Amino acid sequence: MSRLLERLRPHRTIWPTRDGWWCLAAAVGVGFAAMNTGNNLLYMLASLLLSLIVVSGILSEQSMRRLRLRSVVPEELYAGRPALAAAWVVNHKRWLASHSVTLECAGGRRVYLDRIDAGAERLATWDVTPHARGRHRLPGVRVTTRFPFGLFVKASRVLLEDEVIVFPALGPTPRARLREVAAAGPRASRRRGPGHDLYNLREYRVGDDERLIHWRVSAKTAVLTVREMEADTTADVRIVLAGSTSDAARVEQAVSEAASLAVHLSRAGARVELAGPGLFVPSGRGGPHVRRLLTALALWQPGPAPAVTRGGGKVREMHVRLG
């Protein structure tokens, strides 16, 4: 049944412009006058106006036929931050070009394409600004044309309703949080990584940082030796969401703060873990891990949930109050 309704649904709509209404009114008026008077000249004028309307419909349909849109969705969308969305407009006709095509986007934005050659494609771009985190559908896009005489607006169905995940809004990290990070100071974690304490001495390998060469030991052993450093536990942080979830505005502010803190620590080389009511992301670092953290925060919904889940290991905790 749904397929039948989909087939019966018109692929395009058509509506007269202001000039189109004047043309239709003139055609009707001249037609009535011709029937009342029998004047051949009036019949010719009415026929001319009607043929103008018919030609307009045929040429606009030719311009719209076999146009396809292929979306280009932004990889990262943040609440409250403008992002660039795009779509390829592809003309699948073999011989005929499409003229005067307009993409109507959300917020009244319009992207005008004067000509798309046969078998060619054009890139159209516009700004989108999601207002809330979570899973959303991007506002759709319609293809319209007033070609050739501007008498009618012919429009397609709403297209490109892609589903995206909008990350929480990011802001500057509060100074109190930065002082909290700095106050912890570096501590050894007994594993290799960027740090200040010596972890091991080994033979030099091609590609090692020359600044880590231990020249004194190398001179004694006659073998080029490098130092391996021990990672610091200041890079091991657990962000904990805790508190009441009754105040929706405060919850969103806390989620945004947690996201900003996670991004800041990750960019500083930290291993970040995330925990909260019904929320847990294991410790990790790097770009893919940042996306996991932001995705978890984007999709998290406050409500009755089990107690905070926490991973093992001695890591420093940074609490973000929900309310």
- Structural domain containing residue 18: 2-52
* Whether residues 41 and 84 fall in one domain: no
Residue 187 in any domain: the answer is no
Tens-place pLDDT, residues 78-104: 998 988 888 899 999 989 999 999 998
Number of helices (H) and strands (E), helices first, in the chain? 7, 17
Residue from 124, 131, 91 nearest 109 by CA: 124
What CATH number corresponds to the domain at position 85? 2.60.40.10
Residue 83 in any domain: the answer is yes
pLDDT grade for 6, boundaries at 50, 70 and 90: very low
Residue 64 in any domain: the answer is no
Q: How far apart are CA 208 and CA 196, in angstroms?
A: 17
* Whether residues 142 and 87 fall in one domain: yes
* Whether residues 298 and 264 fall in one domain: yes
Residue 62 in any domain: the answer is no
Q: At what angle do helices 40-64 and 18-37 cross, to 10 degrees?
A: 150
Q: How far apart are CA 190 and CA 125, in angstroms?
A: 50
Mean pLDDT throughout 194-198? 56
Q: Is 162 helix (H, G, I), strand (E, B) or coil?
A: coil
Residue 317 in any domain: the answer is yes
Residue 315 in any domain: the answer is yes
**What pTM was estimated for this model as a whole?**
0.69
Least-confidence region, from 29-38, 128-137, 239-248 = 239-248
Q: What is the number of structural domains in the chain?
A: 4
Single-letter amino acid code for the residue at 255: V
* Whether residues 128 and 210 fall in one domain: no
* Whether residues 225 and 241 fall in one domain: no
Tokens for 187, please give them: 């501590």
